[in-house]
């Protein structure tokens, strides 16, 4: 029985190591954990190849601990967002937006979308900002000190989202919606995404995000679109599944 359990535990540890290793975006922590998990897999079956004594309980405890750590790491990207708001004001919110609804904001410069975002997060709504602009400049201009801001830039660093990886954009927004009951997500940078992706693919991903938002009804989703760059015809594609904000 010990031998059977040891080989099962070995396989489970290898499985968890692969899951964390393949998770995007990849971080050094993910890689180091995967190495540890593979090492633990070898440790489970070491007694059958070397003169090492390991009890049944040691194998079970090792496997359980590695499983818990795996789940923590698989949510690491969202854990670092802290899903918090800025402040809690008692005055009414100036915008009549509804949770579970997605909005498109046509504007030549991404200003209104940030004013909307600032209004909500300063009234106790947790926020997630995804932008092409430098986060430090966004924080300074709109006085956002606490909420997480993800930068659309091809860097493998925390709080950076590679504009070429639309699956990761979908993942981040979905995980955020799972972790809150009252949130707002804004996206500024559709035009930048077009440099790295086919436009139909971008529309498809944005539509998938809106479906997730509608299904979970825990968030508001607002997207800024540059009228002069996208044009009315392309913006009209988003209006098919998003409400326009005048």
> To the nearest whole number, what is the mean pLDDT of the chain?
82
Most confident option among 53-62, 69-78, 204-213 = 204-213
Same-domain pairing of 65 and 145: no
Same-domain pairing of 109 and 188: yes
Same-domain pairing of 50 and 115: no
Query: For residue 93, is it within any domain?
Result: no
Domain end marker among 37, 54, 74? 74
> Which residue would you say has higher pLDDT here, 184 or 48?
184
Q: What is the pLDDT of residue 179?
A: 83
CA distance 123 to 15: 43
Query: For residue 118, is it within any domain?
Result: yes
pLDDT in tens, 47-67: 767 666 666 556 666 666 666
CA distance 210 to 166: 14
Query: For residue 95, is it within any domain?
Result: no
Q: Angle formed by the axes of helices 135-142 and 112-121, to 10°?
A: 70
Q: What is the pLDDT of residue 26?
A: 57
**CATH code, domain carrying 167:** 3.40.50.300
Residue 72 pLDDT grade (very low, low, confident, very high; cuts 50, 70, 90) = low
Q: For the chain, how many helices (H) and strands (E)?
A: 10, 7
Same-domain pairing of 30 and 143: no
Q: pTM of this prediction? A: 0.70
Query: For residue 232, is it within any domain?
Result: yes
Query: Is pLDDT above 60 for 132?
Result: yes
Q: Could you say which DSSP state residue 107 is in?
A: -
Query: For residue 108, is it within any domain?
Result: yes
Same-domain pairing of 166 and 206: yes
Residues contacting residue 51 through CB under 8 Å, at least 6 positions apart? none
| Residue 165 lies in domain | 102-244
């Amino acid at each position: 029985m010990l031998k059977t359990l040891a080989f099962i535990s070995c396989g489970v540890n290898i499985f968890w190591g692969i899951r964390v290793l393949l998770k995007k975006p990849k971080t050094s922590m993910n890689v180091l954990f995967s190495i540890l998990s593979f090492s633990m897999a070898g440790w489970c079956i070491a007694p059958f190849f070397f003169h090492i004594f390991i009890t049944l309980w040691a194998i079970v405890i090792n496997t359980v601990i590695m499983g818990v750590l795996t789940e923590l790491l698989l949510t690491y990207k969202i854990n670092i967002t802290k899903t918090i708001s800025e402040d809690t004001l008692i005055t009414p919110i100036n915008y009549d937006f509804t949770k579970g609804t997605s909005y498109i904001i046509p504007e030549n410069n991404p200003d209104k979308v940030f004013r909307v975002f600032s209004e909500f997060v300063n009234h106790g709504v947790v926020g997630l900002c995804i932008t092409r602009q430098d986060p430090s400049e966004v924080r300074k201009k709109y006085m956002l000190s606490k909420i997480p801001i993800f930068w659309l830039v091809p860097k493998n660093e925390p709080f950076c989202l590679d504009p070429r990886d639309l699956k990761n954009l979908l993942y981040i927004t979905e995980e955020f919606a799972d972790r809150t009951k009252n949130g707002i997500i804004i996206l500024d940078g559709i035009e930048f995404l077009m440099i790295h992706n086919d436009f139909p693919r971008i529309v498809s991903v944005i539509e998938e995000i809106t479906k997730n938002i509608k299904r979970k009804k825990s968030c508001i989703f607002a997207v800024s679109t540059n009228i002069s760059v996208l044009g009315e015809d392309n913006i009209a594609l988003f209006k098919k599944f998003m409400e326009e904000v005048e």
